[in-house]
Amino acid sequence: MAVRALCSRQAFRLCSVLASTSSSSSSLGRQQSNRGLRVGFLGAPFNKGQRRVGVSEGPQAVKDTGIITSLQDLGVDVKDYGDVEPDNNNNNKPTDDAGDSLHLGPNGERHFEAVLTYNQRLSSKVGEVLKDGRLCVTVGGDHSIAIGTIHGHAHTNPEHQVVVLWVDAHADLNSGTTSPSGNMHGMPAAFHITNLSSRHAKLQDGFPQPSLATIHLAYIGLRDVDKGERAFLDQLGIVNYGMRDVDRLGMREVVARCLDHLSPSTTRPLHVSFDIDALDPLEAPSTGTPVRGGLTLREGLVVVQEAWAGGHMGALDLVEVNPHLGTPTDAAYTAHAAKEIIMGALVGGYSQ
Ligand SMILES: NC(=[NH2+])NCCC[C@H](N)C(=O)O
Ligand SMILES: [Mn+2]
Ligand SMILES: [Mn+2]
């Protein structure tokens, strides 16, 4: 039933990613239809958007699941572009270490310049992957890296336009003045919204330039939203589906509404920014800001599989896997959940 619904959806929407028109759900059918799918993998081992050590090990932990081989086994052409390394070699230091200067931004943003200069480099790298004709998968790293990934995606596109599906327990819509923490992983979405970007300090050359009208962003999974963020969501009318909406409507309906609203297209491709903390901590325990009452892995998969089926996905972020948190088993479990989500987004899942 689920598969049939997925296929009929696929039939109604133009799918830019799949070369084949086959909608067979057999593993052979999938394998054939993945031919022609070209993916670029980028690691973004950056941790200065938050305070916990270990999130810079996220890309390696996800790679250690064997994800690249699994994709290749399904016929996907995957190129590993390696990591965009942070400038200094002290990236593993706790970011609130006494000796580590915080370099606050004008509104108290922690590591303001380090976050933005890193993201400027990341943005160019994302552009490079996309210009190679590949769907760009960026594995973080903390969520501040979405400043660079979305910027790179939007500004590579001739019209400078994308739509963004943000899957997260948090809205990440703070500015320096509304943020309760000063952590920039709680701010990336706001940098891209034209109506909010004037609240943000920029680098001297103007980076990052905003690219999203409020109608080009939609949220799924919210359950820990700060007061200032709630005010922005309400005032700007940004489409957002929290956990109560998921309870009431079911995830298939929630994603369908988000995708209808965003209507990704060839000229306005879809960027999915998936924070692993959207999942319940029982599913993904090794993450820095866990919030109970979250998505099951199945619900997370419904989000990405429907996004896949709808087509036009140009880039995907998978962030906030921190293998230093919890037990080694927790870390492996979390990395595996991340793998499932990425596979679901790229090939519609592989183990069903
Ligand atoms: N990407 C994340 N995990 N963000 C968590 C943000 C938490 C909180 N809203 C803050 O701004 O500090
Ligand atoms: Mn989050
Ligand atoms: Mn986030």
CA of 261: how far to CAs of 21, 164, 254, 265, 273, in Å? 25, 11, 11, 12, 17
Q: Is 261 a catalytic residue?
A: no
Mutate to test the pocket of ligand 1, among 95, 289, 318, 319 (most ligand atoms within 8 A of CB): 289
- The residues of the chain scoring below 70 in pLDDT are 1-33, 88-101, 350-352
Centre a 10 Å sphere on the Cβ of residue 91 and count the other Cβ atoms it contains. 18
Among 145, 123, 127, smallest CA distance to 55 is for 145
Q: What is the whole-number distance in angstroms between the Cα of residue 16 and the centre of ligand 1?
A: 33
For 114-135, the pLDDT digits (tens) are 999 999 999 999 999 999 999 9
Sequence-ordered list of residues with C-beta below 8 angstroms from that of 329, at least 6 positions apart, any chain: none
Report the residue among 143, 177, 183 best suited for mutation to probe ligand 1: largest number of ligand atoms under 8 A from its CB.
183
Q: Helices 297-310 and 251-262, interaxial angle, to 10°? A: 30
Q: What pLDDT is stored for residue 260 in this prediction? A: 98
Specify whether 185 is catalytic: yes
What is the percentage of the chain residues whose pLDDT exceeds 70? 86
Q: Could you confirm whether 168 is annotated as catalytic?
A: yes
Nearest residue by C-alpha to atom 4 in ligand 1: 186
| 52-99 pLDDT tens trace | 999 999 999 999 999 999 999 999 999 999 999 998 655 455 455 444
Q: Is 226 in the pocket of ligand 1 (CB under 6 A)?
A: yes
Please say if 172 is a catalytic residue.
yes
- Does 175 sit in the ligand 1 pocket, CB within 6 Å? no
- pLDDT for the residue 158: 78
Of ligand 1's listed atoms, the one at least distance from the Cα of 224 is: 9
Q: What's the 102 CA to ligand 1 centre distance in angstroms?
A: 17
Tell me what pLDDT residue 15 has: 36
In DSSP terms, 270 is beta-bridged to: 163, 313
